[in-house]
Amino acid sequence: MNVANVIGQIFLVDRFLGGEFMRYGLEVIKFLDQDPETRYDPMARVFPKITKCVFHKFGASGTVEKHDAMCVLSLNIMNEKIYTFLWFWLIILAAVTVVDFLVRILTIVMSPVRTLIIRSRLGADKKNYADDINRRCHIGDYIMLDLLSRNMDTITFGRLISQLSRLFSHSSTSSKHSEDTPILS
**pLDDT tens across 103-153, in order?**
889 988 888 888 888 888 776 666 677 777 777 788 888 888 888 888 888
61 pLDDT above the threshold of 90:
no
Please state the domain extents for the chain. 2-47+76-107, 110-174
Overall pTM > 0.75? no
Q: Which amino acid is at 61?
A: S
Find, among 4, 43, 52, the residue nearest to 20 by Cα.
43
Q: Number of helices (H) and strands (E) in the chain: give both, helices first.
A: 8, 2
**Which is nearest to 141 in space by CA: 164, 162, 119, 159?**
164
Conformation bin of residue 56: beta by default, left when phi > 0, alpha when psi is -120 to 50: beta
Residue 111, Cα to own-chain centre: how many angstroms? 25
